[in-house]
């Protein structure tokens, strides 16, 4: 009754799964792979009671750094919490005991700052008995190094917590490694978002792209315009209060994750119209208004007054330097139907070219955002439609057709790029689609060295049409992990069978840490 | 038929307006109106009618009353009690249940009658059924009829329902071999099955990947064949628990022990059971299907299936019989010699038949009926006329509807699964295709159609474990449930979409991790624990 057509890799995997011993051979399993790993066969043992994480005397950060305090506590839990099978402090074969991990921050710690696109996430890890050292310039590197350290530790066949003597030097390949969640098509409870942030940290993701509103609903509770969510959310309990938003941002910060909100306009704004009169373009059916509405009305001064005020609020609520302004999929039919809009076009000499109207809108919006000292990210249409962009505007490439060519063009024009096109995780199919995501290389397009440098990273997108809190986690993990490694690890890390074996263990680790990550294939988790 | 169809669709249109629109699966006959009655949780009770054959002490119904009381009145978002103001609606303070035929301690069977009528009007609030199983179905319908006003009062509309299933075998397959499913996942699934009026849990218990069934006659099977003999097994007590939990919900447990293929995990625990494959003149160290030429094989099967027959009380066992790979048999010189001796030539289907026939004789000697996958029929194995054949292949050797025609044409009973492999996922609302399948859409006489006893939604486990089982199953399996329960004419997709959307919100309210059908929201969303 099942699947004649198992591919060879799947069969090999099945065989591997049939031999649980070779399959579950204990050892460190790192995901994503660090830049440089040297492991020795010399083993150290650890115990919950004796092991601690503390500051090296040379560290600029100390116990007053709550970000690190919390991280130490978290990782102590992750390392030892799954020890139901632990048989107590079993010491065997004279293994030296690792008693401490000493953490040292070298430069100004940035403990109380927010992470940014330029944050230094590099670290080095030297694990030798009886004390291991984790060194980083900033707290962000410490967070990444703690995750790696926790992944080095495993339980040997007697249940003893074990670590190989190791030396690791690590830093990310790309500075922007994001996950997009969509809370407009379906509302995601805060708990789901926080869980996602946990899992992101396990995979060294550092950007939560929060597609917070869209046509379907407006759950963001604005202080300046409370009617937006009062009228535009699914219900009054499907709302993110300022306190909820602060919770998300702080929870993310403690994990070295930036929160970039997206307020997509001028299209994808149906839900805005309910709480903000005259914001959307009234569509016409012949000479009369049809009662339906199109994109934001770009010809009214009131529109830009509203946007100034609104984005001023957004810029204070969300501390990240960047705001995502959307700009995708603007539908022109409603604009075309509206006589005031067409008059305006005539006056401006735009002819029938609605892209120019779109450009006018976006340029004004970009102007607003730059006067409040924020950087902008936009979807690729904004570039495709020849909107004049300020230098430094980041273009996110999402259309799957010929995305390499798009990267070539955007970088040739000198704009930074975020790649998402091959990584739409809401598109599900039967089997191991993570392999497809994994084999993508973001720099695999025609262009000079300078152009390639403009690719700042990528994002896995989980759009919400068919996703809510019931299926978010298993749909995201471990599929997004494939992208996590692609964006962190060295270009040369691409052995797919090795990745399969490591990811299988990594997904079990995520499950153990409370993330309902779905299986890659037949098999089991040993706990 | 035309007349009743018209009457039916008129009712459908009428019901669209009312609260009854949330029913899933849609009942056979329903008449409902806007007038309604209030229900107050502290006053309300389920009551046995004095002349009911089931009375207090009937475990199936006593427990169902408790369950439905909880489902109806607890786990709803807390709302302040309504201020004491004049009630316009008259009150109903009990649902009276009358079961005609005694039998509270039995197990449901393929022949169980699940009919019920539900009458809620000025004079009555009454559930009548032939058996306790029908009463369970009626209680579920009753629970779906109760709604709550924004102020927090419970209501039920004046309603008349006469209901019965279209097919008697409405199954769901779970695969606990590719991935082990913890007992709680199985029990939770049984709960949701009952909400959808499914009545057969097809337990694909073991396969190549692992052998989690803890046999007391052959403990080595799990010791050597399970993923982890301490944690990834089903003990005798686990199995009893599943069977009783299912029984209390009117669900049969149809267990599958698939042979002679799909048995790699049996090998380590029973030396000599599997065929050693050869590479040239030497055994290669790998193994193929069960070795059909040894007496010891059949001795083992006799003992093993004797145990299985007593552990699993349902009349039917599923014996598998699918996807037997002949390459290993072909490579083995002992098998070649046996083939020659038996005069099978090079036709390994004959050898397969030989095995299956011997196995079927063993099982029928234990007084059991059996279900097999379609290959057993395709390969022309001689089987008893009362064998049930399960159709799972979409295209080959023929389109599945043609296969249904052939099987019923040969006089066998058929179960349909081919279009209902829920483990196959695609982007978007695939429940629509699942829903629009008509199981009797093949050329054949009325007698042939009568041989289709139902179907099964299958959730194979290659990519499914307890992390993603529930959202992948629900509400997609609901589409199969309605197809198998409701009238053939219930095929309007928009009507189904509205009801299924509401039903999935009701599932969320009941704590089921059922995924969304499209954009939107539920009053009570799923909260991660």
In tens, the pLDDT along A456-503 reads 999 999 999 999 999 999 999 999 999 999 999 999 999 999 999 999
Which residues of chain B are within 8 Å of residue A476 when distances are taken between CB atoms?
Answer: none
Residue spans in chain A of domains classed CATH 3.30.379.10: 36-84+93-170
Residue spans in chain A of domains classed CATH 3.20.20.80: 176-513
Is residue B80 scored above 80 in pLDDT?
Answer: no
Is residue B220 scored above 60 in pLDDT?
Answer: yes
Overall average pLDDT of the A366-379 stretch: 97
Q: From start to end of B176-281, where are the E strands?
A: 200-204, 252-259, 274-279
Is residue A81 scored above 70 in pLDDT?
Answer: yes
Q: Say whether B179 and A191 touch across the interface (CB within 8 A).
A: no
Is residue B413 scored above 90 in pLDDT?
Answer: yes
Is residue B87 scored above 70 in pLDDT?
Answer: no
CATH for the B169-510 domain, from 1.10.1740.10, 3.20.20.80, 3.90.550.10, 3.40.50.720:
3.20.20.80
Q: Residue A382 in contact with residue A327, Cβ under 8 Å? A: yes
pLDDT of residue A527: 64
| Alpha carbons B412 and B416: distance in angstroms, whole number | 13
CB-nearest to B467 from A191, A466, A518 is: A518
From A467, which residue of chain B is nearest by alpha-carbon distance?
A: B516
Could you tell me if B430 lies within 8 Å of chain A, comparing CB atoms?
A: no
Give the pLDDT confidence of A274-316 residue by residue, as tens digits: 999 999 999 999 999 999 999 999 999 999 999 999 999 999 9
Determine the straight-line distance between the first and last CA of chain A, rounded to whole angstroms.
30
Q: Say whether B208 and A14 touch across the interface (CB within 8 A).
A: yes
| Alpha carbons A357 and A266: distance in angstroms, whole number | 11
Catalytic residue among B34, B91, B299, B323: B323
Q: Which two tokens stand for residue A102?
A: 């000493």
Is residue B11 scored above 50 in pLDDT?
Answer: no
What is the count of residue pairs from A and B with beta carbons less than 8 Å apart?
A: 139
**Which uninterrupted H or E stretch holds A332?**
none
Could you tell me if B184 lies within 8 Å of chain A, comparing CB atoms?
A: no
| Alpha carbons A33 and A148: distance in angstroms, whole number | 9
Q: Residue A424 in contact with residue A387, Cβ under 8 Å? A: no
Is residue A28 very low, low, confident or very high in pLDDT (cuts 50, 70, 90)? Answer: confident
How high is the mean pLDDT of chain B?
93
Is residue B18 scored above 80 in pLDDT?
Answer: no
CB-nearest to A427 from B427, B463, B470 is: B427
Buried b or exposed e, range B475-502, using 16+ CB within 10 angstroms? bbbbbbbbbbbbbeebeeeebbbebbbb
Q: Say whether A519 and B323 touch across the interface (CB within 8 A).
A: no
For helices B59-73 and B132-145, the axis angle rounded to 10 degrees is 10
ipTM of the complex: 0.92
Percent over 90 (pLDDT), chain A: 90
Which residues of chain A are within 8 Å of residue B508 when distances are taken between CB atoms?
Answer: 470
| Alpha carbons A430 and B396: distance in angstroms, whole number | 20
CB-nearest to B425 from A430, A465, A511 is: A430
Is residue A106 scored above 50 in pLDDT?
Answer: yes
Which residues of chain A are within 8 Å of residue B458 when distances are taken between CB atoms?
Answer: 1
Is B323 among the catalytic positions? yes
pLDDT of residue B19: 56
Q: What angle do CA B288, B294, B296 make, to 5 degrees?
A: 105
Say how far residue A176 (Cα) sits from the centre of its chain.
8
Percent over 70 (pLDDT), chain B: 93
| Alpha carbons B249 and B193: distance in angstroms, whole number | 9
pLDDT of residue B451: 98
Q: Is A110 exposed, middle or buried (0-12, 13-18, 19+ CB in 10 A)?
A: buried
Alpha helices in B216-289 (DSSP H): 220-225, 236-247
Q: Say whether B460 and A2 touch across the interface (CB within 8 A).
A: yes
How high is the mean pLDDT of chain A?
93
Calculate how close chain A gets to B300, using CA atoms only, in Å.
23
Catalytic residue among A70, A227, A250, A329: A329
Question: What is B441-469 written as a DSSP string?
Answer: -SS--HHHHHTEEEEEEEE-STT-STTTH
pLDDT of residue A14: 42
Maximal C-alpha separation, chain B = 91
Is residue B150 very low, low, confident or very high in pLDDT (cuts 50, 70, 90)? Answer: confident
Phi, psi of B9 (to 5 degrees): -70, -30
Is residue A20 scored above 50 in pLDDT?
Answer: no
Calculate how close chain A gets to B213, using CA atoms only, in Å.
16
From A4, which residue of chain B is nearest by alpha-carbon distance?
A: B323
Which residues of chain A are within 8 Å of residue B460 when distances are taken between CB atoms?
Answer: 1-3
Overall average pLDDT of the B82-96 stretch: 76
Spatial CB neighbours of B470, under 8 Å, sequence gap ≥ 6: A470, B185, B188, B189, B192, B512, B513, B514
Spatial CB neighbours of A96, under 8 Å, sequence gap ≥ 6: A44, A45, A129, A130
Q: Which 218-237 residues of chain B touch chain A by CB within 8 A?
A: 227-228, 232
Percent over 70 (pLDDT), chain A: 92
Overall average pLDDT of the B162-188 stretch: 98
Q: Which two tokens stand for residue B507?
A: 């599932």
pLDDT of residue A92: 56
Is residue A508 scored above 70 in pLDDT?
Answer: yes
Is residue B88 very low, low, confident or very high in pLDDT (cuts 50, 70, 90)? Answer: confident
From A189, which residue of chain B is nearest by alpha-carbon distance?
A: B527
CB-nearest to A191 from B210, B470, B528 is: B528
Say how far residue A154 (Cα) sits from the centre of its chain.
27
Residue spans in chain B of domains classed CATH 3.30.379.10: 21-75+89-163
**Which uninterrupted H or E stretch holds A317?**
helix A301-317
CB-nearest to A18 from B209, B373, B471 is: B209
pLDDT of residue A82: 60
Overall average pLDDT of the B264-275 stretch: 98
Is residue A91 scored above 90 in pLDDT?
Answer: no
Q: Say whether B425 and A429 touch across the interface (CB within 8 A).
A: yes
Residue spans in chain B of domains classed CATH 3.20.20.80: 169-510
Q: Which fold has domain A176-513?
A: TIM Barrel (3.20.20)
| Alpha carbons A470 and A462: distance in angstroms, whole number | 14
Which residues of chain A are within 8 Å of residue B178 when distances are taken between CB atoms?
Answer: 522
| Alpha carbons B418 and B432: distance in angstroms, whole number | 15
Number of Cβ within a 10 Å radius of residue A41? 6
Helix (H, G, I), strand (E, B) or coil at B389: strand
| Alpha carbons A86 and B492: distance in angstroms, whole number | 57
Question: What is A125-172 written as a DSSP string?
Answer: EEEETTEEEEEESSHHHHHHHHHHHHHH-EE-TTS-EEEEEEEEEE--
Overall average pLDDT of the B205-218 stretch: 98
Is residue B89 very low, low, confident or very high in pLDDT (cuts 50, 70, 90)? Answer: confident
Q: Residue A290 in contact with residue A341, Cβ under 8 Å? A: no
Alpha carbons within 13 A on the beta-carbon side of A50: 15
Give the pLDDT confidence of A155-171 residue by residue, as tens digits: 988 889 999 999 999 99
Overall average pLDDT of the A53-73 stretch: 97
pLDDT of residue A26: 65
Residue A138's region, left for phi above 0, alpha for psi from -120 to 50, else beta, is beta
Overall average pLDDT of the B334-346 stretch: 95
DSSP B83: P
Q: Which two tokens stand for residue B337?
A: 């010699």
Query: Which has more pLDDT, A458 or B16?
Result: A458
Spatial CB neighbours of A463, under 8 Å, sequence gap ≥ 6: A180, A182, A185, A211, A424, A426
Which residues of chain A are within 8 Å of residue B515 when distances are taken between CB atoms?
Answer: 466-468, 470-471
| Alpha carbons A197 and B295: distance in angstroms, whole number | 59
Q: Which two tokens stand for residue B53?
A: 């054959």
Is residue B17 scored above 80 in pLDDT?
Answer: no
CB-nearest to A428 from B426, B508, B527 is: B426
pLDDT of residue B382: 86
pLDDT of residue A158: 86
Q: From start to end of A328-454, where are the E strands?
A: 375-379, 394-397, 417-419
**Which uninterrupted H or E stretch holds B477?**
helix B476-485
- CATH code at B21-75+89-163: 3.30.379.10
Which residues of chain B are within 8 Å of residue A17 when distances are taken between CB atoms?
Answer: 209
Is residue B8 very low, low, confident or very high in pLDDT (cuts 50, 70, 90)? Answer: very low
Partners of B155 in the beta sheet?
B38, B147
Is residue B1 scored above 60 in pLDDT?
Answer: no
pTM: 0.94
Q: Residue B462 in contact with residue A4, Cβ under 8 Å? A: no
Alpha helices in B124-277 (DSSP H): 132-145, 183-195, 220-225, 236-247
Q: Which fold has domain A36-84+93-170?
A: Chitobiase; domain 2 (3.30.379)
Overall average pLDDT of the B376-403 stretch: 94
């Amino acid at each position: 009754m099942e699947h004649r057509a198992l591919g060879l890799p799947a069969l090999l995997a099945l065989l591997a799964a049939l031999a649980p011993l070779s399959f579950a051979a204990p050892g460190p399993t790192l995901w994503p792979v660090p830049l440089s790993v040297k492991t020795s066969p010399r083993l150290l043992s650890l115990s919950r009671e004796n092991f601690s994480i503390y500051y090296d005397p040379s560290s600029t950060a100390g116990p007053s750094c709550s970000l690190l305090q919390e991280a130490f506590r978290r990782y102590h839990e992750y390392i030892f919490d799954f020890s139901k099978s632990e048989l107590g402090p079993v010491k065997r074969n004279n293994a030296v005991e690792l008693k401490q991990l000493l953490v040292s921050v070298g430069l100004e710690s940035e403990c109380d700052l927010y992470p940014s696109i330029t944050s230094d996430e590099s670290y080095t890890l030297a694990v030798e008995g009886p004390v291991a050292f984790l060194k980083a310039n900033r707290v962000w590197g410490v967070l990444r190094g703690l995750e790696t350290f926790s992944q080095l530790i495993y339980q040997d066949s007697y249940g003893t917590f074990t670590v190989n003597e190791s030396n690791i030097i690590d830093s990310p390949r790309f500075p922007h490694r994001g996950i997009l969640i969509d809370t407009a098509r379906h509302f995601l409870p805060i708990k789901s978002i926080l869980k996602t942030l946990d899992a992101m940290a396990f995979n060294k993701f550092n950007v939560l792209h929060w597609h917070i509103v869209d046509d379907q609903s407006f759950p963001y509770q604005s202080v300046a315009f409370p009617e937006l969510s009062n009228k535009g959310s699914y219900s009054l309990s499907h709302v993110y209060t300022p306190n909820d938003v602060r919770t998300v941002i702080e929870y993310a910060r403690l994990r070295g994750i930036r929160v970039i909100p997206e307020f997509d306009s001028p299209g994808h704004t149906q839900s805005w119209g309910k709480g903000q009169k005259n914001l959307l373009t009234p569509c016409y059916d012949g000479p009369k208004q049809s009662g339906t509405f199109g994109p934001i009305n770009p010809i009214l001064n009131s529109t830009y007054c509203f946007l100034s005020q609104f984005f001023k609020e957004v810029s204070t609520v969300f501390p990240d330097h960047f705001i995502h302004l959307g700009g995708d999929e603007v539908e022109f039919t409603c604009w075309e139907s509206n006589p005031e809009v067409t008059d305006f076009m005539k006056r401006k000499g735009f002819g029938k070219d609605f892209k120019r109207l779109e450009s006018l809108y976006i340029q004004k919006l970009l102007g607003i955002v730059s006067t409040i000292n924020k950087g902008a990210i936009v979807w690729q249409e904004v570039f495709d439609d020849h909107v004049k962009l300020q230098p430094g505007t980041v273009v996110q490439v999402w259309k799957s057709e010929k995305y390499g060519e798009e990267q070539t063009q955007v970088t040739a024009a000198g704009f930074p790029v975020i790649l998402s096109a091959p990584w739409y995780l809401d598109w599900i199919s039967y089997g191991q689609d993570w392999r497809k995501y994994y084999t993508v290389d973001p720099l695999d397009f025609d262009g000079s060295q300078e152009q390639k440098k403009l690719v700042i990273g990528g994002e896995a997108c989980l759009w919400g049409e068919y996703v809510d809190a019931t299926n978010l986690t298993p749909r995201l993990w471990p599929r997004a992990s494939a992208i996590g490694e692609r964006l962190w690890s060295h270009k040369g890390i691409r052995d797919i069978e090795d990745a399969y074996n490591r990811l299988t263990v990594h997904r079990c680790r995520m499950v153990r840490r409370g993330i309902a990550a779905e299986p890659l294939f037949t098999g089991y988790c040993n706990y | 038929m035309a007349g009743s169809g018209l009457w039916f669709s008129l009712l459908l249109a009428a019901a669209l307006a009312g609260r009854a629109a949330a029913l899933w699966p849609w009942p056979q006959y329903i008449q409902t109106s806007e007038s309604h009655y209030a229900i107050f949780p502290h006053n309300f009770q389920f009551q046995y009618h004095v002349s009911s054959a089931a009375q207090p002490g009937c475990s199936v119904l006593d427990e169902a009353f408790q369950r439905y009381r909880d489902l109806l009145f607890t786990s709803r978002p807390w709302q302040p009690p309504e201020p004491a103001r004049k009630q316009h609606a008259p009150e109903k303070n009990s649902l009276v249940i009358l079961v005609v035929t005694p039998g509270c301690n039995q197990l449901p069977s393929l022949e169980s009658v699940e009919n019920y009528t539900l009458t809620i009007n000025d004079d009555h609030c009454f559930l009548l059924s032939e058996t306790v199983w029908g009463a369970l179905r009626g209680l579920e319908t009753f629970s779906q009829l109760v709604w709550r006003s924004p102020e927090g009062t419970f209501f039920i509309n004046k309603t008349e329902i006469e209901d019965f299933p279209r097919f008697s075998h409405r199954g769901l397959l779970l695969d606990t071999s590719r991935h082990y499913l913890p007992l709680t996942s199985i029990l939770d699934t049984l709960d949701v099955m009952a909400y959808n009026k499914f009545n057969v849990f097809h337990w694909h218990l073991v396969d190549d990947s692992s052998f989690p069934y803890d046999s007391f006659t052959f403990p080595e099977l799990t010791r050597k064949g399970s993923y982890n003999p301490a944690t990834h097994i089903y003990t005798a007590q686990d199995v009893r628990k599943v069977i009783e939990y299912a029984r209390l919900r009117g669900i049969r447990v149809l267990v599958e022990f698939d042979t002679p293929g799909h048995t790699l995990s049996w090998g380590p625990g029973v030396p000599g059971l599997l065929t050693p494959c050869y590479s040239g003149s030497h055994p290669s160290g790998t193994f193929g299907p069960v070795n059909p030429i040894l007496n010891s094989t059949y001795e083992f099967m006799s003992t093993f299936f004797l145990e299985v027959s007593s552990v699993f009380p349902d009349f039917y066992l599923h014996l598998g019989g699918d996807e037997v790979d002949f390459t290993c048999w072909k490579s083995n010189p002992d098998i070649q010699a046996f083939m020659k001796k038996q005069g099978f030539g090079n036709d390994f289907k004959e050898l397969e038949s030989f095995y299956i026939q011997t196995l079927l004789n063993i099982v029928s000697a234990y007084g059991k009926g059996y279900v097999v996958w379609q290959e057993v029929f395709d390969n022309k194995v001689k089987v008893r006329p009362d064998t049930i054949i399960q159709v799972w292949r979409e295209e080959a050797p023929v389109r599945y509807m043609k296969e249904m025609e052939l099987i019923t044409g040969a006089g066998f009973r058929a179960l349909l699964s081919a279009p209902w492999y829920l483990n196959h996922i695609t982007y978007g609302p695939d429940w629509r295709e699942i829903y629009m399948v008509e199981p009797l859409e093949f050329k054949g006489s009325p007698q042939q159609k009568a041989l289709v006893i139902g179907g099964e939604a299958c959730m194979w486990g290659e990519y499914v474990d307890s992390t993603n089982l529930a959202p992948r199953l629900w509400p997609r399996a609901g589409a199969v449930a309605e197809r198998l329960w409701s009238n053939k004419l219930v095929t309007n997709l928009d009507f189904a979409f509205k009801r299924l959307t509401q039903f999935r919100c009701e599932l969320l309210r009941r704590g089921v991790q059922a995924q969304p059908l499209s954009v939107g929201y539920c009053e009570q969303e799923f909260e991660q624990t």
